[in-house]
């Protein structure tokens, strides 16, 4: 068990002058499950591979516990990694795959078999120990990759999008299995994904990256309720938050024909701000009222809930709007509705910097 | 809905190219195999039968006496054939082993390690394949004389290795490059060092490529003539191929015995090629289709 610390760690790929990971500062607590999330090209995998030692650190340092591992070769870092494509050794059986690290470490055969069996039991892999990877299903392969990491009892688990090759249903199941397993083992885990739902459901804390720069670190709740900037606001949450530019007016910010009260201190001298409202934080009215006038394009029914997709004219520009509606009673495509945000559920961001203005939304 | 598929006159159309192709194949086979079959035919005849005119197109009384004489009999020729067979096997096996070991290490380094001048070095090594080997014959002979390695197994094997290493490295390089790198990374994460990764992870996966390379190297070594002709000066190192050709110069050697010796020289590569041809094709195609 150990903490992990990125101290101003940067990675610049040869032949490029833009940092893939730019001065990353991040502390992962002992036993914590930290998720690195971001769109493709955000540097999340690079950051993970830097911790693994598979990618060079061009400046800054990385610590595991008290130990500076920046220049330590991967094999001596005592970390286990689950790869996106699992990277199981195709010529070895499941048992050999899981026991390979112990074999290299010179662990006696008896103990090795014992530990492989224990891990296999935890992962329901016992019946498959003598099979080769090609004779396993995708989900089983994924579990073998997990097993290979667990058997080692490493200081840190690294997982690089381990669920992306599973089908949707299995992904949801495995998600909870991995989260509960790593917590039971109490091993510090750094987990990379591009899927914000995975991040929200699995992480103790989430670090959001964009273009190699850390945007925000926090618990799922913090990121959801108090996104530090427009990027995090738009990235976390599905469907994404409605974000558009609005004029500052007497007593607040214009939202269609309505005025949302925002304190003058929050707004400063800005004449325009970006406001964000989550789809579940709007009130939809079919009768003409104050608020934003929205033409309904489509309503997606998801059983209990539904999502209304529409568009509106904001500031002379067509703006797409998503709102959560009741799954059974809802407007239909072609209708005109009027939406207003629920009180205290508006996020305000600076137009120039994209940074948050004011505090978190209340729940 | 049932679709009625109009009958296509495939048979009539395909017949013509089929005939042309068959004729072509037969001509090609005759062209390449006739000398071999002729030698096989002669090797199964007695001396009198082999000398008769007109020649026998099939052995009248097939017998293995010539082979028996070469392999187990007494006499100068039989002993030379046996000694040179031992020589060729030692030289080819040693050259193959050394070449494959060195080529594997070199190919792995070129494929996976980053160091200054890597590509330049790799292409320089490959470029040597473009030179006609004979241009190096005299300098090599001088070097071998200087080192006291003329007419030794070591000398011949060294020359073979230097000649076959570029091709072998190239084949293995394209093979190793095609293996997924994440497996090697997984090995590293599991605590293995470079050599352990190579041994436990890469080589088992690259085995077909290694077998191909070994085969191609072995067959090329077996077919060598000019270099051993120059570098072996007596029976102690002369390979079978050179020895057989030297028999031609001696008037006393019966043609049926000579044919049997030739068949012995062909047997090993023929058997290898017959049973392992998929590896040969695999090796020569490595990296070309991917």
| pLDDT tops 70 at residue A362 | no
Residue extent(s) of CATH 1.10.3720.10 domains in chain B: 75-288
A108: how many CB neighbours lie within 10 A of its CB? 9
Kindly determine whether residue B188 and residue A105, on different chains, have CB atoms separated by under 8 Å. Answer: no
Query: Could you tell me if A351 lies within 8 Å of chain B, comparing CB atoms?
Result: no
CA distance A180 to chain B (A): 23
Query: Could you tell me if A170 lies within 8 Å of chain B, comparing CB atoms?
Result: no
Query: Could you tell me if A15 lies within 8 Å of chain B, comparing CB atoms?
Result: no
Residue of A104, A112, A144 to mutate, interface with B, max B Cβ within 10 Å:
A104
pLDDT reported for residue A155: 93
**Would you call the peptide bond into A239 cis, given omega within 30 degrees of 0 as the criterion?**
yes
Kindly determine whether residue B186 and residue A81, on different chains, have CB atoms separated by under 8 Å. Answer: yes
| Composition of chain A by helix, strand, coil, percent to 5 | 30, 35, 35
- DSSP H helices, chain A, are 44-52, 94-104, 109-122, 138-151, 168-185, 196-202, 220-225, 230-235, 264-267
**Measured between alpha carbons, how far is residue A243 from residues A349, A351, B246 in Å?**
9, 11, 90
pLDDT reported for residue B13: 52
Question: Which among A84, A90, A105 is the nearest to B191, CB-wise?
Answer: A105
The band of A321, judged by pLDDT with boundaries at 50, 70 and 90, is very high
| pLDDT tops 50 at residue A252 | yes
Measure the CA–CA gap between B287 and B13, rounded to whole angstroms.
Answer: 36
Kindly determine whether residue A52 and residue B189, on different chains, have CB atoms separated by under 8 Å. Answer: yes
Measure the CA–CA gap between A189 and A31, rounded to whole angstroms.
Answer: 7
Question: Which among B182, B191, B193 is the nearest to A83, CB-wise?
Answer: B182
Kindly determine whether residue B201 and residue A89, on different chains, have CB atoms separated by under 8 Å. Answer: yes
Kindly determine whether residue B196 and residue A104, on different chains, have CB atoms separated by under 8 Å. Answer: yes
Measure the CA–CA gap between A17 and B3, rounded to whole angstroms.
Answer: 61
pLDDT reported for residue A157: 95
pLDDT in tens, B103-145: 999 999 999 998 899 999 999 988 988 888 888 889 999 999 9
Residue of A46, A75, A133 to mutate, interface with B, max B Cβ within 10 Å:
A75
Residues of chain B contacting residue A104, judged by C-beta atoms under 8 Å apart:
190-192, 196, 200
Query: Could you tell me if A90 lies within 8 Å of chain B, comparing CB atoms?
Result: yes
Q: Is the CB of residue A307 less than 8 Å from the CB of residue A263? A: no
pLDDT in tens, B177-218: 988 899 999 999 999 999 999 999 999 999 888 999 999 999
pLDDT in tens, B36-60: 999 999 999 888 888 888 888 888 8
Q: What is the pTM of this model?
A: 0.81
| pLDDT tops 60 at residue B8 | no
A310, two tokens: 């529409």
pLDDT in tens, B80-109: 889 999 999 999 999 999 999 999 999 999
pLDDT reported for residue A363: 55
Q: Is the CB of residue A236 less than 8 Å from the CB of residue A361? A: no
pLDDT in tens, A16-64: 989 999 999 999 999 999 999 999 999 999 999 999 999 999 999 999 9
| pLDDT tops 60 at residue B25 | yes
Q: Annotate B98-127 with b (16+ C-beta within 10 A) or e (fewer).
A: bbbeebbebbbbbbbeeeeeeeeebeebee
A 299-338: CB under 8 A from B: none
Name residue, tokens 């007016």: A249
Kindly determine whether residue B204 and residue A91, on different chains, have CB atoms separated by under 8 Å. Answer: yes
Query: Could you tell me if A104 lies within 8 Å of chain B, comparing CB atoms?
Result: yes
**Top CATH class, B75-288:** mainly alpha
pLDDT reported for residue A315: 75
- DSSP H helices, chain B, are 10-43, 47-51, 65-72, 76-112, 118-127, 137-147, 153-177, 181-189, 194-196, 203-222, 226-231, 240-248, 255-285
Query: Could you tell me if A356 lies within 8 Å of chain B, comparing CB atoms?
Result: no
Question: Which among B180, B188, B201 is the nearest to A75, CB-wise?
Answer: B188
| pLDDT tops 60 at residue A128 | yes
A 21-80: CB under 8 A from B: 52-54, 73-76, 79-80
Measure the CA–CA gap between A90 and B204, rounded to whole angstroms.
Answer: 9
Residues of chain A contacting residue B116, judged by C-beta atoms under 8 Å apart:
none
Question: Which among A75, A76, A90 is the nearest to B205, CB-wise?
Answer: A90
CA distance B204 to chain A (A): 7
Measure the CA–CA gap between B174 and B287, rounded to whole angstroms.
Answer: 5
Q: State phi, psi for B132 to the nearest 5 degrees.
A: -60, 130
Reported ipTM: the value is: 0.85
Measure the CA–CA gap between A61 and A71, rounded to whole angstroms.
Answer: 9
Kindly determine whether residue A87 and residue B185, on different chains, have CB atoms separated by under 8 Å. Answer: yes
């Amino acid at each position: 068990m150990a903490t992990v610390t990125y101290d101003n760690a940067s990675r610049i790929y040869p032949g490029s002058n833009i940092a893939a990971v730019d001065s990353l500062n991040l502390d992962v607590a002992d036993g914590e499950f930290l998720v690195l999330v971001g769109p493709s090209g955000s540097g999340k995998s690079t950051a993970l591979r830097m911790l693994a030692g598979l990618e060079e650190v061009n400046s800054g340092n990385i610590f595991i516990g008290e130990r500076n591992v920046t220049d330590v070769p991967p094999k001596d870092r005592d970390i286990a990694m689950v790869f996106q494509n699992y990277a199981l050794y195709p010529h070895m059986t499941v048992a050999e795959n899981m026991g390979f690290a112990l074999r290299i470490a010179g662990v006696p055969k008896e103990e090795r078999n014992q530990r492989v069996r224990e891990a296999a039991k935890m992962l329901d892999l016992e019946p498959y120990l003598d099979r080769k990877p090609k004779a396993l299903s995708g989900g089983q392969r994924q579990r073998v990759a997990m097993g290979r990491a667990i058997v080692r009892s490493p200081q840190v688990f690294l997982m690089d999008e381990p669920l992306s090759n599973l089908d949707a249903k299995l992904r949801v199941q495995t998600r909870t299995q991995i989260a509960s397993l790593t917590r039971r083992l109490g091993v510090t885990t750094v987990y990379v994904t591009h899927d914000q739902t995975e991040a929200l459901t699995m992480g103790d804390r989430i670090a959001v990256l964009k273009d190699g720069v850390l945007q925000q670190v926090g618990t799922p709740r913090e990121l959801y309720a108090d996104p530090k900037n427009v990027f995090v606001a738009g990235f976390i949450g599905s469907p994404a938050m409605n974000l558009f530019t609005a004029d500052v007016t007497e007593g607040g910010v214009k939202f269609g024909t309505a005025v949302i009260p925002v304190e003058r201190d929050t707004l400063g001298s800005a004449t325009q701000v970006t406001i964000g409202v989550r789809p579940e934080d709007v009130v939809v009215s079919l009768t003409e009222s104050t608020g934003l006038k929205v033409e309904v394009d489509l309503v997606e029914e998801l059983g209990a809930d539904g999502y209304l997709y529409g568009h509106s004219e904001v500031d002379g520009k067509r703006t797409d709007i998503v709102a959560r509606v009741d799954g059974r009673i809802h407007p239909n495509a072609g209708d005109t509705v009027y939406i207003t945000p629920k009180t205290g559920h508006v996020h305000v961001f600076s137009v120039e910097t994209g940074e948050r203005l004011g505090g978190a939304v209340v729940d | 809905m049932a679709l009625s598929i109009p009958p296509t006159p495939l048979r009539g159309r395909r017949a013509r190219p089929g005939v042309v192709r068959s004729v072509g194949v037969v001509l090609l086979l005759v062209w390449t195999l006739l000398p071999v079959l002729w030698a096989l035919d002669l090797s199964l005849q007695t001396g009198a039968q082999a000398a008769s005119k007109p020649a026998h197109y099939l052995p009248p009384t097939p017998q293995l006496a010539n082979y028996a004489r070469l392999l187990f009999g007494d006499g100068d020729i039989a002993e030379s054939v046996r000694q040179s067979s031992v020589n060729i096997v030692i030289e080819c096996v040693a050259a193959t082993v050394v070449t494959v070991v060195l080529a594997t290490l070199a190919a792995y380094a070129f494929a996976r390690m980053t160091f200054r001048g890597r590509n330049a070095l790799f292409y320089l090594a490959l470029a040597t394949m473009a030179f006609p080997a004979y241009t190096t014959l005299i300098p090599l002979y001088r070097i071998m004389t200087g080192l006291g390695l003329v007419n030794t197994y070591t000398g011949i094997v060294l020359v073979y290795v230097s000649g076959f290493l570029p091709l072998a490295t190239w084949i293995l390089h394209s093979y190793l490059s095609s293996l997924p790198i994440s497996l090697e990374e997984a090995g590293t994460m599991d605590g293995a060092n470079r050599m352990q990764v190579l041994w436990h992870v890469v080589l088992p996966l690259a085995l077909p490529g290694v077998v191909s390379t070994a085969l191609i190297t072995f067959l090329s070594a077996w077919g060598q003539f000019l270099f051993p002709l120059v570098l072996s000066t007596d029976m102690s190192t002369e390979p079978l191929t050179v020895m057989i050709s030297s028999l031609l110069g001696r008037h006393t050697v019966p043609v049926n015995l000579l044919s049997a010796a030739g068949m012995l020289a062909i047997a090993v590569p023929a058997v290898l090629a017959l049973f392992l041809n998929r590896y040969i094709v695999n090796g020569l195609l490595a990296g070309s289709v991917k």
